[in-house]
Amino acid sequence: MTVPASPQRPPTGLDPLYVDLDGSLLATDSLHEGLVGIVARQPWLALALPVWLAGGKAAFKTKVASAAELDPATLPYREQVVEHLRAERQAGRSIVLATGAPRSMAEPIARHLGFFDAVLATDGPVNLTGAAKLAAIERHAQGPFQYLGNSAVDLPIWRKASQALTVAVPTGVANTLVREGVASTELVPRRPAGLMTWLRAFRVHQWAKNLLMFVPSFTAHVMGNPGVPANLAIGFISFSFLASSIYLINDMVDLPNDRSHPTKRDRPFASGSLPVLHGALLVPVLVTAAALLAARLPSEFQWLIAGYLVLTTAYSFWLKRVMALDTVLLASLYTIRIAAGGAAIAVTVSPWLFAFSMFFFLSLAMVKRTGELVALGPRLDETNVKGRGYRTSDLEAVSALGTASAYASVVVLTLYVNGSTDAQTLYRHPGLLYLICPVILYWVTRIWILARRGEVREDPVVFAIKDRVSYFALAAIAGITRLAT
């Protein structure tokens, strides 16, 4: 898309409207999205970023845009702004995209939206922001113009515009416009991300998985021992902070796939509710907090959460796209939580518990994949699950393997009750533990049937937290264990 040298004003006589991209038309920053895209797809290029930046900001933006390959169709546009621009275009106003983003990134966005007459963008050595953008607009407009922007860097342009249109501007910028008497119209009010938005990004509801750390203390009957509750509380918070840092990484790495998903598109980063830059800055803060807490616990716990960090990072960047390995890794991550719980209180975890955990959580990981495959529709063709190593034709195999793993976990439990010296030592009436088997059989059978019906559309652990039947099953297991003790 080329910029006309001598633009003709429409017969309506309306002043042309110049529109900023990052934070104005988009609810995100294309440069930050591009950087995240590079790290997600080609993390080794992160080493080249300082070299690119040494060549100047304009050249840096261009290189990031060429390496990132952002999809205009999946970006989070501000719907109120898009609707306003469409209405203005229909009224006969000329609309021009004027952005500091590189031309290679701006032009595909303009083509995708279809209502821009021209594009002014960073092209060459000049970074088209602030005074440089104002000069380009004045050369292009050759007369009065309107401008739509969102930040303090746009103030010089608003001062010269016949009409200033603002989008989510900071309070200080809005006050400056009023104080200087700049005629402005607020299209979108500023709504800073609230606590609930951040809690969603941290996925605090997923912290329930870390309650698995308490399992070894109950199976070893040491929960009432001095120091055990305190150590487990510290370990739980440490693990939760670490898990949240990984969720932030995962959501930033998986942005394009999340935006194509019917429900994940509403996640804070995918929707643009939270800037990806803020998420990137918070990751080291959370990891540091987790490490400081872990330093108060035995070294074995520290090694386990370090291993968890390495594995989950590898999962976010690569391993979640490897068919079968992804589910085995997810089951391993659940089992690491159990091992960490034992390490936090210096209790040796039974091999029987490890075996049960691997089979049981491998089944739940496959429930998750089954839900994703079912959501794609009834056709069993060769359609790939975006961001995963599965095809819709894998549904039957995944379901069969998942149910087999679920029932194998019950077999492990039966063998533990029947032949383990631990069961005979720790329980006065170990035979009563057999009653847990039908409870688990009922629960896993039910969740698998629901998954095949398409009624488990989220993480099965999260589903269980919301499921009343799951609480009844857990209460039954706790009651049976109490009677056996």
Kindly report each contact of residues 132-135 with a partner whose C-beta sits within 8 Å and lies 24 or more positions away, as own/partner. 133/98, 133/100, 133/157, 134/160
Q: Percent of the chain beyond pLDDT 90?
A: 61
421: its two tokens = 């010296």
Among the residue ranges 39-48, 111-120, 273-282, the one predicted with the least confidence is 39-48
Amino acid code (one letter) for 387: G
User: Who's near 211: CB < 8 A, 6+ residues apart?
Assistant: 236
Q: Is 225 helix (H, G, I), strand (E, B) or coil?
A: coil
pLDDT interval class at 10 (50, 70, 90): low
209: its two tokens = 């998985």
Cβ(116)–Cβ(16) below 8 Å: no
- Distance CA(22)–CA(31), nearest Å, equals 8
Report whether pLDDT(49) > 70.
yes
The more confidently predicted of residues 241 and 126 is 241
The overall average pLDDT reported for the chain is 89
- For residue 385, the model assigns a pLDDT of 64
pTM of the model: 0.83
Which phi-psi region, left, alpha or beta, contains residue 13 (left: φ > 0; alpha: ψ -120 to 50)? left
- Distance CA(144)–CA(386), nearest Å, equals 47
Report whether pLDDT(96) > 90.
yes
Q: Is 19 helix (H, G, I), strand (E, B) or coil?
A: strand
Tell me the per-residue pLDDT of 362-372, one tens digit each, with 9 for 90 and over. 999 999 999 88
Kindly report each contact of residues 269-274 with a partner whose C-beta sits within 8 Å and lies 24 or more positions away, as own/partner. 269/201, 270/76, 271/27, 271/76, 272/26, 272/27, 272/28, 272/76, 272/78, 273/27, 273/193, 273/197, 274/193, 274/197, 274/198, 274/201
Measured CA to CA in angstroms, residue 126 lies from 100, 209, 243 at distances of 9, 50, 42
Mean pLDDT confidence for 428-443:
94
pLDDT interval class at 90 (50, 70, 90): very high
- For residue 383, the model assigns a pLDDT of 57
CA dihedral 169, 175, 176, 179 (to 10 degrees): 150
Mean pLDDT confidence for 256-283:
86
- For residue 110, the model assigns a pLDDT of 95
DSSP codes of every residue in 246-279: HHHHHHHHTHHHHHTSTTGGGSHHHHTSS-HHHH
Half-sphere exposure of 262 (CA within 13 A, CB side): 8
The more confidently predicted of residues 149 and 319 is 149
Report whether pLDDT(477) > 90.
yes
Q: Is 71 helix (H, G, I), strand (E, B) or coil?
A: coil
Measured CA to CA in angstroms, residue 291 lies from 233, 287, 316, 333, 484 at distances of 15, 6, 20, 18, 38
Measured CA to CA in angstroms, residue 323 lies from 64, 384, 485 at distances of 30, 11, 42
- For residue 389, the model assigns a pLDDT of 81
- For residue 259, the model assigns a pLDDT of 84
The more confidently predicted of residues 386 and 192 is 192
The more confidently predicted of residues 347 and 68 is 347
